[in-house]
């Protein structure tokens, strides 16, 4: 058994036993399918911007993959989330609930709407929003008026919540939907990291009124940059497409725009890459699950650390594999990061909690004991598809 004072080197050995000793990145894209063929076809068509056959195909393929009625492809996941919040009625001065433990883009999208992020705690089980803690927080700190949830201290409406599926592990959406229903709050899922993840067979991003995806270069599939809005509401989907196409009214030649819109449509060139990547998603998911199983075996005898796995009743895409240090050895986190990176094995800590960032320091927040504990202890380890062979 490994001794706790040797923890950094024990972790180096456990990772290297799985991925080898050559330098390895945290997460790299894999291009092994029709990427070159589709990009060439796109270039030959000359339709490389926001209109083209690959955009339409990518949206249709995404809808089929996730089970959503419609998918609207946009330039990145942050843009998708910003527009989704506007679509559920978030206006300047509203509050939006979101986990303090998230990537900054989640909070930025709220700020872009001139709304106020309201940070809440996470649960250890999924690393996502804690529904029970959220319900208690809302009971104490809000009141209902005319069907609206009002924050007592500020008088602001809490209009929406944004559950985020951390590292691709599904959060407890049924419990969060119950809280949202009881307090009259709209739900927009940040499923940026969870393409291919599901709860009871239902794909993440399809539980709320809207969900959003990201296809950044480090995601399970990539379009280079890109994102999408998912919804089962056809009217919302049509409005999402309208808003992200500069709110331009259809006409053979006139440029008429009926409201403030955004130039956010995904270019056809990026969509061509996405179509090829999406064809390989089942293979990527199988490879990332195989990597998780290899890590689980390798870390079985390493004391002081556990491998984060999928919650019961859920299926994770294992976008980023994560280690969770025991509280007793949390002070060794930076030593682990140094030892692994010195060995050429790229690792990263979890994001700085949102309320610690200067521009969000004054935002309202619930008590965050679990999020603060997770922040001290989480480490992401090499997670690319194809790191272990079948």
DSSP state of 265: B
CATH number 3.40.50.300 is the correct assignment for the domain at 4-30+281-381: no
The radius of gyration of the chain's CA atoms, rounded to the nearest angstrom, is 21
CA-CA distance, 98 to 368, in Å (whole number)? Answer: 12
Pairwise CA distance, residues 76 & 224, whole Å: 9
DSSP-derived secondary structure for 333-349: HHHHHHHHHHTTB--EE
Taking the C-alpha atoms of residue 286 and residue 331, their distance in angstroms, rounded to an integer, is: 34
Contact 167, 319 (CB under 8 A): yes
pLDDT of residue 300: 97
Question: What's the order of all strands across the beta sheet hosting 321-325?
Answer: 305-307, 321-325, 378-381, 348-349
- Within the chain, which residue ranges are assigned CATH 3.90.1150.10? 4-30+281-381
Helix axes 35-45, 268-279, angle to 10 degrees: 150
CB 166 within 8 A of CB 102: yes
Residue 390 pLDDT: 77
CB 14 within 8 A of CB 299: yes
Please return the burial class of 267, using the count of CB atoms within 10 Å of its CB with bins 0-12, 13-18 and 19+: buried
| CATH (residue range 35-279) | 3.40.640.10
Rounded to whole angstroms, how far apart are CA atoms 171 and 149? 23
Please name every residue paired with 63 in a beta bridge, in sequence order, or none if there are none.
Answer: none
∠ CA 56-109-318, nearest 5°, is: 70
C-alpha closest to that of 320 among 252, 271, 383: 383
SS3 239: helix
Closest CA to 106 of 120, 126, 92: 120
Residues forming CATH 3.40.640.10 domain(s) in the chain: 35-279
Q: What is the torsional sign of CA 190, 195, 200, 205?
A: positive
Strands (E), the chain: 70-74, 95-99, 116-120, 142-145, 148-151, 158-161, 186-190, 198-199, 202-203, 210-214, 227-231, 305-307, 314-315, 321-325, 348-349, 378-381
Contact between 349 and 379 (Cβ < 8 Å) = yes
d(CA 246, CA 255): 10
255-292 pLDDT, tens digit per residue, is 999 999 999 999 999 999 999 999 999 999 999 999 99
Report which of 172, 144, 161, 390 is spatially closest to residue 287, judged by C-alpha positions: 390
Whole-model pTM: value is: 0.96
Helix/strand/coil (H/E/C) assignment for every residue in 60-98:
HHHHHHHCCCEEEEECCHHHHHHHHHHHCCCCCCCEEEE
The residues of the chain scoring below 70 in pLDDT are 1-5
| Bridge partners for 213 per DSSP | 228
- Phi-psi category of residue 205: left, alpha or beta, with phi > 0 → left and psi -120 to 50 → alpha: left
Confidence at residue 2, expressed as pLDDT on a 0 to 100 scale: 45
Q: What's residue 71's pLDDT?
A: 98
């Amino acid at each position: 058994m490994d001794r706790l004072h040797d923890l950094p080197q024990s972790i180096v050995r456990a990772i290297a036993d799985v991925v080898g000793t050559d330098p390895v990145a945290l997460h790299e894209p894999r291009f092994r399918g029709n990427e070159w063929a589709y990009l060439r076809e796109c270039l030959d068509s000359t339709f490389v911007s926001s209109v083209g056959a690959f955009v339409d195909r990518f949206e249709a393929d995404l809808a089929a993959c996730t089970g959503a009625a419609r998918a609207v492809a946009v330039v990145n996941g942050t843009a998708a989330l910003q527009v989704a919040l506007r679509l559920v009625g978030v206006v300047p001065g509203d509050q939006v609930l979101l986990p303090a433990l998230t990537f900054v883009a989640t909070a930025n999208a709220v700020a872009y709407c001139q709304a106020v992020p309201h940070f809440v705690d996470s649960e250890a089980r999924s690393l996502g929003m804690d529904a029970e803690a959220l319900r208690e927080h809302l009971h104490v700190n809000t009141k209902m008026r005319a069907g609206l949830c009002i924050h007592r201290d500020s008088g602001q409406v809490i209009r929406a919540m944004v559950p985020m599926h951390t590292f691709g592990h599904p959060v407890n959406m049924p419990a969060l939907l119950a809280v949202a229903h009881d307090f009259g709050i709209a739900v927009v899922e940040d499923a940026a990291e969870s393409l291919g993840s599901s709860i009871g067979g239902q794909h993440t991003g399809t539980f709320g009124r809207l969900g959003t995806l990201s296809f950044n270069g480090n995601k399970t599939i990539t379009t280079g940059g890109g994102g999408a809005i998912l919804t089962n509401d056809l009217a919302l989907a049509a409005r999402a497409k309208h808003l992200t196409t500069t709110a331009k009214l259809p006409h053979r030649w006139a440029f008429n725009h009926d409201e403030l819109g955004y130039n956010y449509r995904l270019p056809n060139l990026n969509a061509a890459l996405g179509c090829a990547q999406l064809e390989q998603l089942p293979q990527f998911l199988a490879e990332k699950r195989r990597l998780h199983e290899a890590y689980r075996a390798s870390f079985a005898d390493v004391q002081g650390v556990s491998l984060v796995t999928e919650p019961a009743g859920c299926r994770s895409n294992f976008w980023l594999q994560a280690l969770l240090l025991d509280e007793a050895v949390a002070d060794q986190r930076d030593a682990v990061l140094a030892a692994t990176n010195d060995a050429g094995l790229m690792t990263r800590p979890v994001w700085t909690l949102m309320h610690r960032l200067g521009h969000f320091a004054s935002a309202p927040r619930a008590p965050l004991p679990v999020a603060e504990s997770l922040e001290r202890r989480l480490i992401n380890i090499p997670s690319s598809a194809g790191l272990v062979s079948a």
